[in-house]
Chains A and B, each alone.
Chain A
């Protein structure tokens, strides 16, 4: 650092003081109301057009499920064989299927069973996956090994194949289980093979969260392991679980339809999209009135798309890193 005369442009310079007034170091910004992370995510979600589109789609499906009577006054289980494959007339925009059922009415009433299976299965896998994943990740050791290996085994079996076999077993054990029993059977069959995904995601997230400093701080305060898990670790692990659960709702509805299409899902008496797609497949072979299939299939695609889009929107809102771009 030799002392020499400064070169041009490097003379001593001092900015006028009024240009950059000194601020109090570490002053608190109170210009906006307090905001929790959940509130912030909600605000972010409301700004996303994807959320409004998918929300409207799901809302429409929900209304159809709760009050199908608003959309049609026809009985979905009334068949008029004389109208078999009739292209329809006024009041019957979708016409009739092979058995003479009204295709539109069946599409409307089919929503209930399909959505019910999706929602119940999602609740089942989230509850099971969250508990097993959190316990495995938090306690580690042999508990983790046991849970993770069991999850791996179920993960290795393809969802549809597993559910197919599971349902045939249930069918053999309880041949007469009624409409609701049929739904429960499908929920169990899908749930048994669906939970490992949630377990894995929760476990990974818990492993990450449990090493953060605020967990150590809580331990140093004297909080027990269990209260640490319930109060800090699980709430902070929820965001990716919520995203996955939303997306899997759509996927599970499709899975139910696939099972019913294969003739092993919901019992034939239940009005559901999968059963109707199954019934309509003969039209594809015969080439008569292929349109019959589009109604339940379209409704199925619409619903699944709604949940998958919502999952995307929620994921954007909950992941601040992705938000910045």
Chain B
């Protein structure tokens, strides 16, 4: 019989706000055995990170443990003295923090920071420590470790920084490693590499891992035991596969059915998509006919609503000497078409140029060369304000960050009214009726009108952003990472909303995303971009079932949880 390395019993954590205590974790219990990987899954605000941070007494701000026990190797560390916790940190419990960008001191060489961890835990000193640093970096999978150790964090990529943090977390050979969303800030392919490496490393060393993640697919793929948290409580826990195949708590059921990485393998989502497309294409065809027969409408009413031809964008970067400069090609010869009533997804990792393409299509950025045609009209050569305004009515964006895409000083009413006002549509009364109608379309109560963005949740703001985009009754909506910043359940809701609206209004979507998993739920065609160029371009089913390119295959493999067979 093995004894657990960590046992949390009925843990209560609260945050002090003035004189009140606001509970964040309410009676969480879990057990971790040596060598095991246990994952805590939940959305933002579920208390998963708070639980993990309570273990090493690193609660942010005003957080306090108000009840329960945290037994590390049988000894209660909740409420232990500062000195005792300090002795545990690093040497017995390691931490890999969430954000690799802010968790390394930019003024220190990476090697020196790992050395600090070694010296602080009394593992090694002086020359020995230097040698150990290089070994640890090699172990964490950094090539040319000796040179890398002398570099500064800004000379590392995001994935390399996370490797350095892993090296630091494992420096003193702890018995337990807490990994708090270790790869959320990284591209999927890098995420897979890092997690694979972390897996083999912890197996080799026999370290137990407590993995904190919002991604159910990732958790199920990496952990033996799953703990699902919701509103500060553990709602369900058990063997990972059992939970995934037979979720019993309604919240877990919702999570399993919404997780994009899992849902994307479900055929039901593809069938639903086909229905939406049929309806949307039909509605769109009617609109096209109307456009074709009315001379005053913008465009000619053809079946291809957006066509990009050989789009290229060069950015000038300042060179080494004042006055000199060099060119950087962000987008290289990209061509694609968007058929009326369908969705074309552009998928790529950070730096692939996908957002730059979106901005050029929207006319927010001038192309270095190449053209964008909207319904047969070249938008780069539009003359006159009137024509440009006419184009704006037909094509609207929804951006990634729901916290930055609405003016914080504008009420929701004013935000949605702005496009109507700018285009001089209707009088005050007509506009109000239109705004009510739009809010209804995006399933928000009319009461939201008088509120301000800071009072709404991320999902609600994104609905408002969609309502604003639809205010001018556009034919095309460019969704630039529009669901990427949202929690899974909210993401699923917004994707459903977008699908419903597409069917109802015959919209055409250009869907920019880094997440191949959501593509199957909303798109019909996919462009895979890498380093500014298109790698593969095909229908969704072709890309998912028989990808032609190595890079596409790697992206697909990297979708966490994609390989787990589902019961339902």
- The interface of chain A, by Cβ under 8 A from chain B, is 1-3, 6-15, 17, 19-20, 22-23, 25-26, 28-30, 34-38, 40, 212-214, 216-223, 227, 232, 235-236, 324-325
B269 within 8 A of A: no
Given A14-B236, A216-B364, A222-B423; A1-B224 close (CB under 8 Å): yes
Assembled-state Cα–Cα distance A218/B231 (Å): 36
Can you list 6 A-B pairs, Cβ within 8 angstroms, ordered by A? A6-B225, A20-B233, A25-B489, A28-B448, A37-B408, A38-B409
- Chain B residues with Cβ under 8 A from A30's Cβ? 447
The answer to whether A220 and B364 have CB atoms under 8 Å apart is: yes
Whether B408 and A236, one on each chain, are in contact in the complex, defined by CB atoms closer than 8 angstroms, is yes
B405: chain A residues within 8 A (beta carbon): 213-214, 217
Q: Cα distance A222–B418 when bound, in Å? A: 10
Cβ contact within 8 Å between B408 and A10: no
Chain B: CB-nearest residue to A2: B224
B residues 379-425 near A (Cβ < 8 Å) are 388-389, 392-393, 395-397, 399-401, 404-409, 411, 418-419, 422-423
A3 close to B447 (CB less than 8 A): no
Shortest beta-carbon distance from A219 to chain B in Å: 6
Bitwise, B42-81 to A at CB < 8 A (1) or not (0) is 0000000000000000000100000000000000000000
Interface string of B324-368 (1 = CB under 8 A from A): 000000000000000000000000000000000001001110000
Question: Of B248, B401, B444, B465, which contacts A28 at CB under 8 A?
Answer: B444
B4 touches A9 (CB 8 A): yes
Instruction: Confirm or deny: B239 has a beta carbon within 8 angstroms of a beta carbon on chain A.
Output: yes
Residue of B nearest to A38 (CB): B409
Partner of A219, one of B364, B393, B407, B444: B364
Determine whether B459 belongs to the interface, using a CB cutoff of 8 Å to chain A: yes
For residue B241, which residue of chain A has the nearest CB? A1
Q: Report whether A214 and B411 are in contact in the complex, using a CB–CB cutoff of 8 Å.
A: no
Picked from A17, A23, A26, A219, the residue with its CB within 8 Å of the CB of B459 is A26
Whether A29 touches B4, Cβ cut-off 8 Å, given contacts A22-B251, A217-B465, is no
Identify the closest chain B residue to A7 (Cβ): B33
In this complex, how many residues of chain B approach chain A with their Cβ under 8 Å: the count is: 75
Q: What residue of chain B has the Cβ atom nearest to residue A33's Cβ?
A: B450
> In the assembled complex, which residues on chain A have CB atoms less than 8 Å from the CB atom of B234?
13, 15
Chain A residues in 8 Å Cβ range of B397: 216-217, 220
Chain A residues near B126 (CB-CB < 8 A): none
Q: Which of A13, A20, A35, A40 contacts B237 (CB 8 A)?
A: A13
Q: Which of A9, A20, A36 contacts B31 (CB 8 A)?
A: A9
Contact A217 B445 (CB under 8 A): no
Q: Is B457 positioned at the interface, with any CB of A under 8 Å from its CB?
A: yes
Q: A13-B237, A219-B364, A222-B393 are in contact. List 15 more A-B contacts (CB 8 A).
A: A1-B221, A1-B240, A1-B241, A3-B239, A6-B225, A10-B238, A12-B237, A12-B242, A14-B248, A17-B249, A19-B233, A22-B251, A216-B397, A227-B422, A325-B61
- Whole-angstrom CA separation of A14 from B233 in the bound complex: 11
- Cα(A23)–Cα(B404), bound, Å: 26
Is chain B's binding surface mostly helix, strand, loop or mixed? mixed
Given the complex of chains A and B, what is the CA–CA distance between A34 and B446 in angstroms?
13
B250 an interface residue at 8 Å Cβ cutoff? yes
Does the CB pair A10–B31 fall under 8 Å? Answer: yes
Tell me the minimal C-beta distance from A273 to chain B in angstroms.
39
Residue of A nearest to B225 (CB): A10
B101 adjacent to chain A (CB < 8 Å): no
A15→B451 contact, CB < 8 A: no
Question: Are A213's CB and B400's CB within 8 A?
Answer: yes
In this complex, what residue of B is CB-closest to A10? B225
Query: Across the interface, do A9 and B7 meet the contact criterion of CB distance under 8 Å?
Result: yes
Partner of A220 from the list B248, B362, B408, B490 (CB cut-off 8 Å) is B362
A38 to B411, CA, bound (A): 12
Considering only CB atoms, which chain B residue lies closest to A209 in the complex? B407
Q: Quick one: given A7-B2, A25-B459, A34-B455, are A214 and B422 in contact (CB under 8 Å)? A: no
Query: In this complex, what residue of A is CB-closest to B239?
Result: A6
User: Which residue of the partner chain, among A7, A8, A29, contacts B455 with CB atoms under 8 Å?
Assistant: A29
Cross-chain contact of A36 among B221, B409, B564 (Cβ < 8 A): B409
How far, in whole Å, are A298 and B208 apart by their CA atoms in the complex? 67
Q: Is B310 an interface residue (CB 8 A)?
A: no
With both chains docked as a complex, state the minimum distance between the C-beta of A322 and any C-beta of chain B, in angstroms: 13
Name the A residues within 8 Å of B452 (CB-CB).
34-37
| Cβ-closest 6 pairs across A and B | A9-B31, A12-B238, A222-B392, A213-B405, A213-B399, A26-B459
Binding site of A, secondary structure by majority: helix, strand, loop or mixed?
A: loop
Shortest distance between the CB of B479 and any CB in chain A (Å)? 12
What is the chain B residue whose CB lies nearest that of A12? B238
Of A13, A216, A232, which one neighbours B236 at CB under 8 angstroms? A13
Closest to B359 in A: A216
Minimum distance in angstroms from A213 CB to a CB of chain B: 4
Q: Give the residue of B236, B359, B388 whose beta carbon is less than 8 angstroms from that of A222.
A: B388
In the docked arrangement, what's the CA distance between A41 and B388, Å? 39
* A221 with B472: CB separation less than 8 A: yes
Partner of B249, one of A9, A14, A36: A14
Closest chain-B Cβ to A205's Cβ sits at a distance in Å of: 14
- Chain A residues, CB < 8 A from B407: 214, 218, 232, 236
Given A9-B31, A222-B388, A26 and B238 contact (CB-CB distance below 8 Å):
no
B232 to chain A, nearest CB (A): 8
A10 to B359, CA, bound (A): 50
Closest A-chain residue to B226, C-beta based? Answer: A10
Contacts of A220 in B (CB 8 A): 362-364, 392, 395-397
Interface contact B250-A213, CB-CB below 8 Å: no
Complex alpha-carbon distance, A28 and B455, angstroms: 9
A222 to B248, CA, bound (A): 50
Q: Which residues of B contact A20 (CB under 8 A)?
A: 230-231, 233, 235, 251
Give the residues in chain A near B450, CB-CB below 8 Å.
34
B214 within 8 A of A: no
Residues of B within 8 A of A11 (CB): 238
Does B468 interact with chain A (Cβ within 8 Å)? yes
- A214 CA / B397 CA spacing, docked (Å): 11
Chain B nearest CB from A241 CB (Å) reads 14
**Which residues does chain B contribute within 8 Å of A232, judged by CB atoms?**
407
In angstroms, Cα B389 to Cα A225, docked, is 13
- State whether A213 and B364 are in contact (beta carbons under 8 Å apart), knowing that A15-B233, A20-B251, A28-B447 are contacts in the complex: no
CB–CB B409/A236 < 8 A: yes
Whose C-beta in chain B lies nearest to the C-beta of A15?
A: B235
A17 vs B249: C-alpha distance when bound (angstroms): 7
Q: How far is the CA of A40 from the CA of B456 in the complex (A)?
A: 15
B493: Cβ under 8 A from any A Cβ: yes
Contact partners of B423 in chain A: CB under 8 A? 221-222
Q: Indicate which residue in B4, B220, B422, B448 contacts A223 across the interface (CB closer than 8 Å).
A: B422
Out of B392, B404, B457, B493, name the residue touching A214 (CB < 8 Å): B404
Docked CA distance A271–B230 (Å): 69
* Docked-complex contact A213 and B392, CB < 8 angstroms: no
A-chain residues with CB within 8 Å of residue B302 when the two chains form the complex = none
Q: Is B460 positioned at the interface, with any CB of A under 8 Å from its CB?
A: yes
Bound-state CA distance A13–B31 (Å) is 12
Nearest-neighbour CB distance to chain B for A96, whole angstroms, equals 54
